[in-house]
Structure 1
Amino acid sequence: MERYVQMKESIYDLAGRHPEAIEIMVELGFRDIAKPGMLQTAGRFMTLEKGIRLKKKDAEEVKDAFRQRGFQIME
């Protein structure tokens, strides 16, 4: 199965395909997404790209973390 992350895809859709993506995001400091109900609400419109800007994270660091776990990054 091909594993990929689309930067403009909703976190909700990403987690639906790859539940382990939430664990990766929490490790990177996106802790809010693990709170009850957040994935079903904010996760439906929040993208990884928007989350990086909102949390002022280094985009390359986030992409590298996903790559290290076997994901391809789709811009």
Structure 2
Amino acid sequence: MEKVLKMEESIYEWVNRYPEVIDIMVELGFCDIVKPGMLQTAGRFMTLSKGIKLKKMDIDTVKLTFQHYGFKVLE
């Protein structure tokens, strides 16, 4: 079964459904997600699209990384 993530869902929602998302996010450079309390605060309103813009990342690279781990990212 394919794991689907929507770009406009919060990171908090993703992690509640798929805890392994944390490791993928750290691998991509979103290291703040593991700071104590960060997921419960900023993670509730932060989306992947906001994070990509904030970190000036390439969206295709991010999508490919998630695909590598069996996720499909929908815009």
Show structure 1 runs of 5+ residues with no match. Answer: none
Show structure 2 runs of 5+ residues with no match. Answer: none
> Please, what TM-score do these two structures have when normalized by structure 1?
0.95
CA distance in 2, matches of 1:63, 1:57: 11
Task: Give CA-to-partner distance per residue, 1:33-61, whole Å, 9 cap, x none.
Answer: 11110000000000001000001111111
Identical columns (%): 63
Q: CA deviation at 1:5?
A: 1.2
1:26 is matched with which residue?
A: 26
> Please, what TM-score do these two structures have when normalized by structure 2?
0.95
Structure 1 outlier segments of 4+, above 2 Å: none
CA distance in 2, matches of 1:2, 1:61: 19
